[in-house]
Amino acid sequence: MWLDEVDEIFKGYNISCYILIVLPIFILVSSTSPVSASHEFPAYRMQHFDLHGMAFGSRMASVNLEARSISTFSSSRHCVFARLMDLSIETYRNIRGKAGALIVELPKSLSNLTQDEKQHILMLEQKMIYEQETSIPVYFTKYNNVIDNIVTELSTNVDARNKKKSAAETLFSSIAANGYQIVISAGTPTARTDTKIATIYGHLAGYRPDGKVPTIAIVTHYDSFGVAPEASFVLCLDTLAASDTIFMHVSKPPKDGSPASIFYKNLKSVGEDYPSVSIEGVHKKINLAEDILAWEHERYSIRRLTAFTLSSVKSHKDSWRSTILDNSENLDINRLERNAKIIVNSIGKFVYDIPDGGIFGGSWDVNPAYIDAWLNHLAGQPRSSQLLSTKDNALVVSLQDNFNKYLRDVKITFAMPDKRDPDYQFFGTTGGTLNIYSVKPAVFDLIVTLAITLYLVLVYVVIHYVPVLYSVSMNLMKNQKVKAR
């Protein structure tokens, strides 16, 4: 009889052996980790720097928190995962004060945004960086279908919870729902001690019969450069393709007959050849109380050098001067080419003292293909200050090589902050790897634990009372045999 065989098996082993067999089986068939899926994406940390003793940007870098949407986060144990267009200034302030971290998904295309959407991003950027330092980690990640689906799922879970459900439906939804764990492994950001800001300069010698040879010095400082003909003035360029108006920003109105006044007249004269372009002058006094000077030319004006900035934006507070929207997708290359021609011919008229007619044309004209090639090159290179401050930076070296083709005595000088009392400090950890793990909620682990416990209790009861059941079965069979006789 099979009952006899079962009885012999149970008599040969004790209950602990069965538990040792059953538990490993459960461990093998169940996942060793609550993670059922994982994804990796590059993430870019928010700006982090100190200027004149004031802290700006995000101060932390490491993240290991549960992902929540804008509507469901409640404590510092949650990492808010949201789209950039869903963030508002008030929402960001709330997240900055309560959440543990923030991951922002950028739009799929920055060039297809409406003007209202672009203005929203511009205002949000300024508040995020300059309003107040952020004590939590803040990262940005590019649009990705997987990331977008996760953000949508987090938002959908919110909508589902808001609906009225029975207790059973709510419990089932809690068990069946998926959660996400956000992990970015990064050390504590530390101030960099090897910061070196590179300045590239060179000169191109000219000739004049009267012996007064002007010298044009082209100085690049990240995204701007200056021109100083005969040391008469310093010209700085800033944001040249944002509008159809070229503004000449000065700290002090130039006197009639001065080099700056002559250049402004040349600029207006050349601009008249382009009906869609207007030339305007803007006067703004230098505010020495500000931590960041409004325009680049103010640094020279403080040293009593005649200087001005040419820009297509009217105010130094215009957010287009520093935004993630300032990329090749949103740049009007035809406008940039046209404005470059106006400025180049204005400089040529001043240097060669030619009142009328274009100076550069034909093979000397502004080359659109050349501009497009450099735009593509610059767009593919990170140009943040802390990334360019390393020695032998690829972008700085490429600029130097290009200057060597047209200028003489091209050199690079490095400016370093004072080690004891630095005016500015850059910090490391500008990016990292965003790990997203799909996990089950804690209530799911609780239900699984209860189920396993119930199963083990049932197994124990069955094993413990098998001899009794066997005896009862044997007695029943004997009684049936006796009655049959």
Report pLDDT for 364. 77
Q: Is the pTM of this model over 0.85?
A: no
**Structure confidence at residue 55 as a pLDDT band (50, 70, 90):** confident
Name which residue leads in pLDDT, 2 or 213: 213
Round the average pLDDT of the chain to a whole number and report it.
78
Report pLDDT for 222. 46
b/e string for 422-441 if b means 16 or more Cβ within 10 A? Answer: bebbbbbbbbbebbbbbbbb
- The answer on pLDDT for 56 being more than 90 is no
Least confident of 112-126, 277-291, 454-468: 454-468
**Structure confidence at residue 160 as a pLDDT band (50, 70, 90):** very low
Least confident of 171-185, 233-247, 254-268: 171-185
Encoding tokens for residue 60?
Answer: 């932390």
**Structure confidence at residue 475 as a pLDDT band (50, 70, 90):** confident
Report pLDDT for 429. 82
Mean pLDDT, rounded, for 96-121? 89
Mean pLDDT, rounded, for 325-343? 84
Name which residue leads in pLDDT, 41 or 320: 41
**Structure confidence at residue 468 as a pLDDT band (50, 70, 90):** confident
Domain boundaries, given as residue ranges, for the chain: 2-31+446-484, 37-191+431-439, 223-382
Report pLDDT for 32. 46
**Structure confidence at residue 95 as a pLDDT band (50, 70, 90):** very high
Of 468, 467, 463, 406, the closest CA to residue 18 belongs to: 463
For the chain, give the percent of residues with pLDDT over 70: 79
Report pLDDT for 283. 92
Report pLDDT for 388. 73
CB atoms within 10 A of CB 451: 10
Contact 254, 260 (CB under 8 A): yes
Name which residue leads in pLDDT, 50 or 232: 50
- The answer on pLDDT for 274 being more than 50 is yes
What is the distance between the alpha carbons of residues 171 and 177, in angstroms, rounded to a whole number? 10
What is the distance between the alpha carbons of residues 419 and 194, in angstroms, rounded to a whole number? 10
Contact 104, 84 (CB under 8 A): yes
Between β-strands 48-51 and 37-45, what pairing exists: parallel, antiparallel or unpaired? unpaired
What is the distance between the alpha carbons of residues 473 and 485, in angstroms, rounded to a whole number? 19
Q: CA-based angle 340:247:306, to the nearest 5?
A: 95
Report pLDDT for 469. 74
**Structure confidence at residue 377 as a pLDDT band (50, 70, 90):** confident
**Structure confidence at residue 16 as a pLDDT band (50, 70, 90):** low
Residue type, 274: Y
Report pLDDT for 167. 60
Question: For residue range 337-374, what is the model confidence (pLDDT) as tens digits?
Answer: 899 889 888 888 887 777 666 667 777 788 888 888 88
Question: For residue range 130-140, what is the model confidence (pLDDT) as tens digits?
Answer: 888 889 999 99
Report pLDDT for 130. 83
Least confident of 31-35, 121-125, 322-326: 31-35
Name which residue leads in pLDDT, 12 or 182: 182
- The answer on pLDDT for 40 being more than 50 is yes
For the chain, give the percent of residues with pLDDT over 90: 15
Helix 442-484 × helix 167-176 angle, to 10°: 110
Least confident of 4-18, 359-373, 426-440: 4-18
- The answer on pLDDT for 231 being more than 50 is no
- The answer on pLDDT for 448 being more than 60 is yes
Report pLDDT for 483. 62
- The answer on pLDDT for 163 being more than 60 is no
